[in-house]
Structure 1
Amino acid sequence: MTDNSKTPSTSSANPAGRRKGLTLVATAVAVAAVAWGGWHWVVASRYQTTDNAYVAGNVVQITPQVGGTVLSIGADDTDYVRAGQVLVQLDPADYLVQLAQAESQLAQTARQTRTLYANNAPLAAQVAQREADLQRLKADAAKARDDVERRRPLTATGAVGKEEFEHAQAVFTAASNAVSAADAAVRAAKAQLAAAEAQTQGSTAEDFPAVMAAAAKVREAYLALQRTRLVAPVDGYVAKRGVQLGQRVAAGAPLMTVVDLHHLWVDANFKESQLADLRMGQKVALTADVYGDNTTYEGQVVGLGAGTGAAFSLLPAQNATGNWIKVVQRVPVRISLAPEALQQHPLRVGLSMDVKVDIRDQDGLALANAPRTAPVAQTTVYDGTLAQADARIARLIAGERLPALKTVADAQVAP
C-alpha cells in the first residue's frame, strides 16, 4: 500500500523555492543593471575606445633622380643614419664628363661675350675719327668754294686765266665729293656702332643671354653630378634595403627607406557611431601591445579623416547592388604622441595600439577650418648645391681657370 501522506507538503514547498530563486535572479539582474548603468554614466559615457589603431610615421623612400651604376652602399637595414649621410653612391664618370663639357662651353661663351662688349669702344672711336675727317673735308671744301668765288669776277677782267679758274672749280668739286664720301662713312660707322650696342644694351657680360644659357647648362650638369650621391633627407633608421653593388638603377627606382622613429603618430580607426563626440585637442591615453598595460602613452587628437577607409580603398564598395549588406564603417583619427614617451619606450611603424579618448572636452573642432602655416616635413640637406654651382659659374665667367673635377667629393666644396 502506497504512503501519500508527504505529497502535499512537498508540493507546497516547491513554489516557495522557485519564488526565492527568481527573486535572487531578479535581484542579481537589477544589481548588474545598476552597476552597468553606473559604469556607463561614470566611465563609458566619458570615453571612446578602440583597439583598431596602429603606429604610423614618415617612411621616407630613397630614390635616385638620375640613373647610374651603384658603386657603394653606405647603410644597411636597422642602421641609424643622420640627415645628409651618404646612403648610395652611383658612378659619376658620365656626369663628370658632361660637367666638363658644359664648363668649357661656358668659358668660351664668356670670352666671346667680353670680346663683343670690348668691340664697342673701337667702334665708337672709329665714329669719332670719321666725324673728324668729315669736318676737315668740309673745311677744305669751304676753302675751295671761296677760291672759286674769288676767281669768278676776276675771270671777266682777265686778271685770272680761264685755266686757273677751271682748276679751282675742279678742286672744289673733288672736295665736295670727298665730303659726301666722308659723310657716308660717318653714317656707316654709326650704324655699325648701333648694331653692336643693340646686342649689348641693357645687359652686362655676366647676364648676357648666351652666357646665361651656357651657365644654365653648367648648373644642370653640376646638379646631375651631385645627385649621384644619394643622401638621407632626415635622421632615422634604414629599412627595406633592396639595392646591391653593381646594380644599374634608373631614376625613380626605390632603393631603401628611412623611417624617422622619433616623430610618430597613431591612426585610430573609430566606428562611425563613435565620431559624434570626437574633437580635435581631446586628450588620449594609449597602450601598446609590445609593452602591455604598464606603459601608457599620452596623446592628443589632431585631426579626423575626410572619409572612411572603404571610400578611399583601391576597390570601393558597390553599395548599389541588390545584395547589399550594411557594414559599420570606420574613419581614421590621427593622434599625436609625446616625444618624451617615445624616447623612453620606442615604437615601430605598424605596431598595434589601444586607444582611449577622453571626450568630456567638447571645445575643439571636428574638422580643421584653417590651412596649415608650416611644412609638414622639411629638409635642408640639399640647400648648398646650387650655391656651389653658382660659385663655379661666377669664376668661369670672370675668366678664371678651374681644375677639372676628378670625383664627386671634389665638387662638394664650393670653389
Structure 2
Amino acid sequence: MSEAISPRAAATPSAKPPLHTADPAHDAPAAPARPEARKKLFTLLALTVVAAAVGVFAYEHFFASRYVSTENAYTAAEMAQVTPFVGGIVREVRVSDTQAVRRGDVLVVLDDTDARLALEQAEAELGRAQRRVRGYVANDTSLAAQVIARDSDRLRAEAQLASAASDLERAKVDLERREALSDSGSVSADEVTRARNAFQTATAALAAAKAAAAQTNANRAAALGQRETNATLIADTTEAANPEVVLARAKRDQARVNLERVVVRAPVDGVVARRAVQLGQQVAAGTPLLAIVPMGQVHVDANFKEGQLDKVRIGQPVEVESDLYGRSVVYHGTVQGLSGGTGSAFAAIPAQNATGNWIKVVQRVPVRIALDPKELAQRPLQVGLSMTATVDTRAEARGGQRAEARANTSAQ
C-alpha cells in the first residue's frame, strides 16, 4: 500500500537552498573587467605624467627661468677704520667691542699737553708776524725819508763838484799867468810855487768832489733799493692779508685743529669691532685703533656662476633670505653692481691656467646687492652672515637702465 506524501513534505527537500558551486557559465562575463581597469589606470598614469611634464615645463619656462639664485652669498659692509690724526698717549678709552655708537660720539681721548704747547707757540708766532708786518709799514716811511736825504746829498755833492771844478779852473789860469810873468821877472818864484800848489790842491779837490758825488749817487741807489725791497713786502696787501701773517695764522689754526683732534670721535653710526687701543698706549698718527661696522649700510655680496649672469642687470629686484632669521624673513634689495673680475682673478694666488693640464672650472662673479634700510633697521644683520639671494631677471630694473643709458651717453 503506498503511502501518501503530503505536499508540504514533498516541498521540504526542494526548499533547502542549494550549495554554491562554481558556475563557469555564470562567471564568464566578469573576466574582462581587469584589463579594462588596468587600461584605465595606465591611461590615468600617462595623463598624470604628461600633465606633470607640461607643468614642469611651464614652471621652468614661465616662472623659474626668470630667477637666478645662489647660496654663495654673504653680508658685508664698508667698515670705518678709526685712526688718530695726531700722535700721543691714550688718556681715555670710552668704548669696547660690540658697543653701539652714534656719529660724533667720543671713542678715545689722547693727552693734549703737546698739542696745547704747540698752539701757544703758533699763537706767539702769529703775534710776531703781525708786529713784523707793522714794522715793514713803518720802515717804508723811514726809507722814503732816507731816499729824500740821499737826494739832498746828491745835490750837495753836485754843487761841491761844480765848485771844485771852478776852483781848479781858477787855479789853472792863475798858474799859467804866474808862469808867463816869471820869465820877465815880474813874479817871484815863490808866487809861482804857491800857484802850482794851489792848482794841484784844486785838482785833488775836484777828484774828491767827483768821488763824493759818485758815493752819494750810490747811497741814493741803495736807499731806493731798500725801499723797493720793503715795498714788495707790503705792496697790494693789508696787515691781515699779508702772506707772513696768513702763514702764521694758518699754522695757528692747524695747531688748534690738532688740539681738537686729540679727541677721537666716531665717523659713522655703527657697532665697535676689533678694538686694539689700550689705556696709556703711545700711538702715532694713522695707527688703527678700532673699527666701526655701519649696521644700517650692510649689503650682500652674492657670488653667482658666470652662466647665471647673462640676464642680470643693475637695478633688478632681489629677494634675500638669511640663515639667521630663516625663510620666514625676506629682505628686498636691488642689484647695485657687478665686480670687475671673478673671485679667482683677485685671489692672493691667482690660478695659472696656462700651465699643465687644464680642467674647466666654473668661475663666480661677485654681485653687490643693496638692501632696504628700513628692513635692516627692523632686523639688523651682522657682517659675514650666510645669505640666499634670488634675482628676478625679467623684472624691470629700478634705475639700472637709466644709469646704463646715462653711462652710454657720457661714453659717446
TM-score (norm 2): 0.69
- For residue 328 of structure 2, what is the aligned residue in structure 1? 294
Deviation sequence 1:206-234 (CA, Å, 0-9, x none):
67676666666555544544432222122
Q: 1:136 to 1:365 in 2, by over 3 A?
A: same
State the AA in 1 paired with 2:232. Q
1:401-412 → structure 2 map (5 Å cutoff): none
CA positional deviation for 1:131: 1.2
1:266, distance to aligned residue in structure 2 (A): 1.7
**For 2:229, which of 189, 193, 198 is the aligned residue?**
198
Structure 1 unmatched ranges of 5 or more: 1-11, 372-415
Alignment of 1:128-147 (within 5 A): 128-136=148-156, 138-139=158-159
SS in 2 for 1:37: helix
Secondary structure of the residue aligned to 1:134 is helix
Aligned-residue CA RMSD (Å): 4.4
CA gap 1:186/1:211 in 2 versus in 1, 3 angstroms: farther
| Corresponding position of 2:340 | 306
Shift of 1:128: 0.6
Question: Which one has the largest radius of gyration?
Answer: 2
Higher helix fraction: Structure 1 or Structure 2? 2
Q: Distance in 1 between matches of 2:300 and 2:154?
A: 89
1:281 matches 2:315 = yes
**Residue 133 of structure 1: how far off its partner (Å):** 3.6
Aligned to 2:362: 328
Given that 1:279 and 1:362 are in contact with CA atoms closer than 8 Å, whether structure 2 keeps it comes out as no
Q: Does 1:63 align with 2:97?
A: no
Q: Letter of the aligned partner of 2:75 in structure 1?
A: V
- Is the CA contact 2:157–2:212 (under 8 Å) kept in the aligned structure 1? no
Tell me, in whole angstroms, the C-alpha distance in 1 between the residues paired with 2:162 and 2:402.
Answer: 98
Alpha-carbon distance in 1 for matches of 2:84, 2:170: 93
- Secondary structure at 1:262 match in 2: helix
Residue 339 of structure 1 and its aligned partner are, at CA, apart by 2.1
Q: Distance in 1 between matches of 2:153 and 2:206?
A: 12
Structure 2: gaps (5+ residues):
1-31, 178-190, 408-412
8 A contact 1:55–1:267 mirrored in 2: yes
Deviation of the 1:40 alpha carbon: 0.5
User: For residues 180 and 324 of structure 1, what CA distance do their matches in structure 2 show?
Assistant: 98
Aligned equivalents of 2:280 and 2:169: distance in 1?
A: 98
Residue of 31, 35, 43 corresponding to 2:63 = 43
- Judge conservation of contact 1:74–1:86 (CA < 8 Å) in 2: yes
Partner-residue secondary structure (3-state), 1:58? coil
Q: Please state if 1:249 is matched with 2:280.
A: no
Q: Is 1:189 the counterpart of 2:220 in the alignment? A: yes
Relative distance call for 1:100 and 1:202 in structure 2 (3 A) is closer
- 1:281 deviates by 1.7
Q: Distance in 2 between matches of 1:328 and 1:367?
A: 29
* Aligned equivalents of 2:168, 2:382: Cα separation in 1: 111
2:267 corresponds, among 215, 230, 233, to: 233
Q: Does 1:346 align with 2:380?
A: yes
* Corresponding letter in the other structure for 1:62: V
How far did residue 104 of structure 1 move? Answer: 3.7
TM-superposed CA distance for 1:116, in Å, is: 4.4
Q: Distance in 2 between matches of 1:367 and 1:270?
A: 22
Separation in structure 1 between the aligned mates of residue 358 and residue 38 of structure 2, nearest angstrom: 48
How many matched pairs? 362
Relative to structure 1, the CA distance from residue 323 to residue 174 in structure 2 (aligned partners, 3 Å threshold; closer, same or farther) is closer
**1:241 deviation in Å?**
2.0
For 1:16 and 1:186, the matched residues in 2 are separated by: 140
Structure 1 residues 315, 14: closer, same or farther in 2, change over 3 A?
Answer: farther
Over the matched positions of the two proteins, sequence identity in percent amounts to 45
Give the whole-Å Cα distance in 1 for the aligned partners of 2:160 and 2:288. Answer: 85
Decide whether aligned partners of structure 1 residues 13 and 93 sit closer, same or farther in structure 2, where only a CA change above 3 A counts.
same
Contact 1:278/1:366 (<8 A) preserved: no
- Give the distance between the partners of 2:259 and 2:248, measured in 1 at CA: 17
**Alpha-carbon distance in 1 for matches of 2:328, 2:35:** 52
Distance 1:184 1:131 in 2: 12
Query: Which residue matches 2:371?
Result: 337
SS in 2 for 1:119: helix
**Structure 1 counterpart of 2:145:** 125
TM-score, normalised with respect to structure 1: 0.69
Worse overlay, 72-81 or 204-213: 204-213
Q: Which amino acid aligns with 1:129?
A: A
**2:63 aligned partner, one-letter code:** V
The alpha-carbon distance between structure 1 residues 144 and 196, as it changes in their structure 2 partners (threshold 3 A), is closer
Distance 1:300 1:334 in 2: 9
One-letter amino acid of the counterpart of residue 74, structure 1:
R
CA distance in 2 between partners of 1:71 and 1:55 (Å): 35
**Per-residue deviation, 1:42:** 2.2
> AA paired with 2:216?
A
Helix, strand or coil at the partner of 1:280? coil
Local SS of the residue matching 2:298: strand
SS of the equivalent of 1:95 reads helix
User: Which range moved further: 324-333 or 44-53?
Assistant: 324-333
Contact kept in structure 2, 1:141 and 1:172, CA below 8 Å: no
For the residues of structure 2 that align with 1:243 and 1:169, how far apart are their CA atoms?
93
- Residue in structure 1 matched with residue 390 of structure 2 by the alignment: 356
Say whether the 8 Å CA contact 1:304–1:367 is kept in structure 2.
no
